């Protein structure tokens, strides 16, 4: 991965470091023992155990034992006149005749140990007569039995729940020939990305399109979990690429395994894997996606085992051990991580009838409500041990962004019944507008970052999603400010378009400044790259849906053409290292979010509004659509789990 350290990887992302899956190397012993020698070691240990038990049984002639049986029990002392001895307020009944019974019991136990010992010796002799291949085959058979039992346990059917009203899964082709051709071009780009991943990176998390091999980053640990397959499923389905969708489904059914010794990002796995699987389930109705989502969610729950209930950033899927990124403000958890779980976890509780997921995210919300918010803002770091804020750094870009997005979307997903989430969103946006949003000398509206008491006049590509968020939240805003927030969204969209238009490649840089005469331009070399990010196109799509201003389709088409011209290679699509260079170097990574988000938003931009209408669907931060839950209130009272 050529992404510089401390830079976010994908839409509403934290800044990953190339730390690897662990800070310590794993060593394996090189000594190999034959199977027969191992069996002899086991046998000797068993014999030792048997003879130890045999020779050290208590002698009834020396000890009076208290066996808690039916005839020989401790009962509260009531009356000492009926032949029993008083022992500290309790009576021991039947002690006289039980000495003989104890001796018989001990003799029976000795005989059983002898018999078990002889049986074990005979079984060991039979094992030692077998060849190495036969022993290996038996071991493999036992392993397969265990694996099958575990699979059966994990695949138990979930309780039936009412399926939400799924509107707009399919749509007619656009009537306009030009728009239809542009949409077809986006579909062709998706096929190019998918087919090359299938050929060169199948089963790996991502693709190196120039090296033509699999790729992964530390957010997925050291395992091959097919992140691109899971992330791309709903895009394939929406585009009508059903053969490709079935290929992905087949791989997931047969190969997607979460019982791996791998440390993963809770946030990234939630939004990409759980979000992707849930969306694929709702779109296709295939149960395998729901079952896999629930299995994975169970693997993430140990991350919440902290003193405050604020989850760790990472968790080992096998051991359940969690930890935080080493660079994150003295071991803090990150606002955009623990604040971006609500949508997926509410749907998990809805589908399973188990309130544990809902309770986890609501606990986080209650904790945040109780805390002090400096200037009404939420700092990006919170210590999960102490429950105190870390350094006072606030951003609507990386580290903070999707926390605000999920407050709004929790309200939308609840059929606008979760008024608590809406109030938190409105309060936060008002504070952001007071302290972070400014106009440049050239008239461009931008969102800066609050660091240690001052505003940094810099905006990241990730922050460009906020234009779409302001437009999405305009309806329902307090004090009749819907028009204001729609206009604010349009201004952010314009600024982010300028960041694209002022580059050589017409692709936006990772971050851009508003200092002096430089506006919407990257200054540092490590901020000039473009890694196939979706946020600007996401805002174009939302603005198109709410205004139908043709400039948003035009801007989106310009971005699509630039991606196809400068990021397309024979083996897929790659990010570029310098958008101001006419001959940029490639980073050789086809990000999974390129298929999940960038191409999906482009396709929707050139589709009719009745495809996934926003009254019925809410998109998670990885662009996975989840249906609105039309239930009575925010506690999902329509589900028996919340009655």
What positions carry a catalytic annotation? 510
**What is the rounded CA–CA span in Å between residue 299 and residue 537?**
33
Spatial strand order of the sheet with 454-456 comes to 393-394, 449-451, 454-456
Distance in angstroms (rounded) separating the CA atoms of residues 274 and 621: 12
DSSP string across 490-545: HHHHHHHHHHHHTSSSS---SEEEEETTEEEE--SGGG--B----HHHHHHHHHHH
CB contact at 8 A, 227 and 205: yes
- DSSP-derived letter for residue 444 is -
Report long-range pairs for 442-447 (Cβ below 8 Å, ≥24 apart).
442/519, 444/491, 444/494, 444/495, 444/498, 444/514, 444/519, 444/520, 445/488, 445/491, 445/492, 445/494, 445/495, 446/492, 446/495, 446/514, 446/520, 447/396, 447/397, 447/492
Of 570, 455, 460, 439, the residue nearest 509 (C-alpha): 460
Write phi, then psi, for 272 (nearest 5 degrees): -90, -50
> Which secondary structure element, helix H or strand E, spans residue 234, and what is its range?
helix 227-238
The first and second tokens of residue 389, run together, are: 């804020």
SS3 breakdown of the chain: % helix, strand, coil, rounded to 5? 50, 10, 40
DSSP structure class, residue 84: P
Return contacts of 401-404, CB within 8 angstroms, 24+ apart: 401/12, 401/336, 401/462, 401/463, 401/465, 401/466, 402/11, 402/12, 402/271, 402/336, 402/339, 402/340, 402/621, 403/335, 403/336, 403/339, 403/340, 403/378, 404/428, 404/429, 404/432, 404/466, 404/469
Number of residues that make up the chain: 643
């Amino acid at each position: 991965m050529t992404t510089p350290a401390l830079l976010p990887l994908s839409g509403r992302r934290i800044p990953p470091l190339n730390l690897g899956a662990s800070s310590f190397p794993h060593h394996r012993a090189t000594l190999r023992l034959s199977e027969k020698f191992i069996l002899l070691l086991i046998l000797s240990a068993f014999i030792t155990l048997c003879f130890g038990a045999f020779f050290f049984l208590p002698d009834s002639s020396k000890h009076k034992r208290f066996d808690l049986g039916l005839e020989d029990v401790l009962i509260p002392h009531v009356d000492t006149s009926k032949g029993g001895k008083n022992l500290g307020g309790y009576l021991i009944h039947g002690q006289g005749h039980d000495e003989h019974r104890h001796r018989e019991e001990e003799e029976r136990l000795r005989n059983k140990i002898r018999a078990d010992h002889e049986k074990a010796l005979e079984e060991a002799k039979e094992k030692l007569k077998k060849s190495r291949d036969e022993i290996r085959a038996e071991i493999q058979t036992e392993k397969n039995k265990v694996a099958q039992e575990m699979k059966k346990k994990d695949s138990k059917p979930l309780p039936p729940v009412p399926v939400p009203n799924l509107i707009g899964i399919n749509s007619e082709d656009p009537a306009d020939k030009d728009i239809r051709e542009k949409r077809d071009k986006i579909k062709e780009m998706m096929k190019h990305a998918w087919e090359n991943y299938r050929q060169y990176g199948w089963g790996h998390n991502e693709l190196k399109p120039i090296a033509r091999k699999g790729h992964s980053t530390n957010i997925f640990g050291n395992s091959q979990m097919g992140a691109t397959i899971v992330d791309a499923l709903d895009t394939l389905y929406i585009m009508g690429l059903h053969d490709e969708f079935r290929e992905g489904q087949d791989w997931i059914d047969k190969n997607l395994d979460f019982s791996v010794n791998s440390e993963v990002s809770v946030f990234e796995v939630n939004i990409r894997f759980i979000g992707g699987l849930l969306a694929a389930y709702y779109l296709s109705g295939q149960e395998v996606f729901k079952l896999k989502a629930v299995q994975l969610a169970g693997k993430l729950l140990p991350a919440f085992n902290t003193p405050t209930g604020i989850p760790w950033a990472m968790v080992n899927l096998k051991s359940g051990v969690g930890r935080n990124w080493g660079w994150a403000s003295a071991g803090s958890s990150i606002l955009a991580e623990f604040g971006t779980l609500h949508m997926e976890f509410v749907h998990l509780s809805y589908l399973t009838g188990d309130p544990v997921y809902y309770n986890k995210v609501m606990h986080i919300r209650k904790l945040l409500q109780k805390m002090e918010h400096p200037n009404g803002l939420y700092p990006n770091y919170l210590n999960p041990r102490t429950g105190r804020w870390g350094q006072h750094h606030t951003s609507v870009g990386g580290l903070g962004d999707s926390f605000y997005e999920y407050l709004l979307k929790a309200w939308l997903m609840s059929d606008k019944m979760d008024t608590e989430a809406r109030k938190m969103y409105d309060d936060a946006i008002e504070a952001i507008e007071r302290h972070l949003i400014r106009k440049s000398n050239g008239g461009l509206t931008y969102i800066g970052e609050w660091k240690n008491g001052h505003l940094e006049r810099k905006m990241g590509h990730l922050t460009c999603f906020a234009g779409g968020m302001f437009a999405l939240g305009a309806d329902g805003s307090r004090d009749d400010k819907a028009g204001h927030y729609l206009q604010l969204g349009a201004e952010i969209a314009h600024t982010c378009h300028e960041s694209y238009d002022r580059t050589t490649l017409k692709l936006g840089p990772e971050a851009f400044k508003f200092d002096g005469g430089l506006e919407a331009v990257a200054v540092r070399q490590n901020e000039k790259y473009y890694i196939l990010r979706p946020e600007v196109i996401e805002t174009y799509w939302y603005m198109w849906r709410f205004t139908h201003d043709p400039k948003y389709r035009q801007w989106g088409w310009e971005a699509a053409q630039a991606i196809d011209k400068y990021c397309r290679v024979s083996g897929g699509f790659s990010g570029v290292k310098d958008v101001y260079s006419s001959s940029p170097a490639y980073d050789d990574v086809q990000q999974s979010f390129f298929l999940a988000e960038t191409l999906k938003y482009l396709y929707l931009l050139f589709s009719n509004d009745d495809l996934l209408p926003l009254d019925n669907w809410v998109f998670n931060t990885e662009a996975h659509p989840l249906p609105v839950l039309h239930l009575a209130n925010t506690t999902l009272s329509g589900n028996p789990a919340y009655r």
